Amino acid sequence: MRYNKKELRLRVDFNNMMSKSVGQDGFTDKQLLAASAEAESAFESVKAGRGKGMMGWTELPYNQDEIVEDILATAKYVRKNFEYFVVLGIGGSALGPIAAFQAICHLHYNELPKRKRKGPKFYVEDNVDPERMEALFDVIDVEKTMFNVVTKSGSTSETMTQYLIIRDVLEKKLGDKASEHIIATTSRDSGNLIKIAQKEGYKTFYIPDGVGGRFSELCPVGLLPAAVVGIDIKGMLAGARYMDELCSSSNPRKNSALMAALMQHLAMKKGKNVSVMMPYADGLKYMADWYCQLWGESLGKNKNLDGSACNKGQTPVKALGVTDQHSQVQLYAEGPFDKVITFIAVDRYRAQVAIPDGCEEFPNVNFLCGHTMNELIQAERRATEYALTKAGKLNHTIVLPELNEFTLGELIMFFELETAYTGALMQIDTFNQPGVEEGKNATYALLGRPGYDEKREELASAPQKLNRYII
């Protein structure tokens, strides 16, 4: 599909981050100018790291032509031969595919009759709640299901638990043909899953070494599930490539992701330690979930690059407009001055619904008649933006001309670049996750994984809970 770049260019409105709009908590042009050298340094740091270490994600829009063709061929085979497609994963292996599915596919995709869907019914198992696993077996026929197990290391406890359960069920039902129902997405050269895949003969896609889970949506981790449900993955990559090109300047006034990063960094210095992501489209609801992992796991660190101690980060919070105007906006408007709210707006929704005439005897209802739901949701967003701005609360708006594969790719790349720039400004390692690893290691020890004896001893010697504090 061809996309008009000019018409689909993502825009970012920073007006309500400025003192002219929100008063003393906002920024002045003088302050931004004074911080421009810091922003340029962050840009150069990210630029120098492109394609190196854990920054392989920067090259995904450019280096996957052959892989994409393999994905498209595999997706076509799955659509033809299976009625269900289930992703087994957690973290970025799950959040990205869920977000893309929700953004592009019909909002009731799985409930559509087969003739109206572009692919098999789609499920993502991103937890190890036993009730959830049992519930999955109530809505799928495993003999008609393709399972995509996704873990780079092949030692992720949650994902490999799911795999072991699924493999057992498949082998009991299908015997030697069980391997035809599993696709592995993992590391090419290391880890347990690649060894298992080679032994069992699974179709395999590879996660590049320099791509961490939270930056993996634009590699086979996210592209395969997207292609299976009929999403134009070439369009997603084209949008990401376009955004990368738009963010090629070291001048924050010519690079929206760099400007967003600079303002978030300056806001954190002012004590704004909460980042609220609030899209005004149900299709983008799970983009907020994906953002929360990207932002929180990348920026929540207790060491600077020089090794000195710190406890840095900005807590991400997800919200959905208009829904959460009735649950969270009271806090944002009248609560503490500790937040930056990011709205995501859509110019043109993919449907238009008119509000019909009625309730003439009730003017405070009838005034809606003759308008559309499209007008209503736009008015609600603008009104909320106005209310927060009037209250002096920092906010800015990302605008998508419409929601499609191209603009989704733009949005993903925008957030990934913003995160990388922000980490560089904060002088932290954006791409490690030692806090996550500590929890993983403790889990391994508790369940008796070999090689974790020392951690088991550490856990055994931890302070015991006292009954008097349990009521």
Amino acid at 249: S
Q: Hey, which residues does 395 pair with through a beta bridge?
A: 341
Of the candidates 265, 279, 372, the residue with the CA atom closest to the CA atom of residue 312: 265
Q: Sort strands 84-88 and 145-150 into parallel, antiparallel or unpaired.
A: parallel
Among this protein's residues, is 396 annotated catalytic? no
| CA distance readout (Å), 282 to 108, 150, 348 | 11, 26, 14
Q: Indicate which residue of 5, 312, 440, 455 is catalytic.
A: 440
Cβ atoms of residues 92 and 212 within 8 Å: yes
Among this protein's residues, is 438 annotated catalytic? no
Helices (H), 85-218: 92-104, 130-139, 157-174, 192-200
Among this protein's residues, is 440 annotated catalytic? yes
Of the candidates 344, 317, 324, 319, the residue with the CA atom closest to the CA atom of residue 411: 344
430 CB burial (10 A radius; 0-12, 13-18, 19+): buried
Backbone Cα Rg of the chain: 24
Record the pTM.
Answer: 0.96
Phi, psi of 368 (to 5 degrees): -70, -25
Per-residue pLDDT of the chain (471 residues; tens, 9 = 90+): 889 999 999 999 999 999 999 999 999 999 999 999 999 999 999 999 999 999 999 999 999 999 999 999 999 999 999 999 999 999 999 999 999 999 999 999 999 999 999 899 999 999 999 999 999 999 999 999 999 999 998 889 999 999 999 999 999 999 999 999 999 999 999 999 999 999 999 999 999 999 999 999 999 999 999 999 999 999 999 999 999 999 999 999 999 999 999 999 999 999 999 999 999 999 999 999 999 999 999 999 999 999 999 999 999 999 999 999 999 999 999 999 999 999 999 999 999 999 999 999 999 999 999 999 999 999 999 999 999 999 999 999 999 999 999 999 999 999 999 999 999 999 999 999 888 888 888 888 888 889 999 989 888 899 999 999 999
Q: Indicate which residue of 6, 108, 326, 465 is catalytic.
A: 326
Q: Indicate which residue of 297, 385, 405, 418 is catalytic.
A: 297
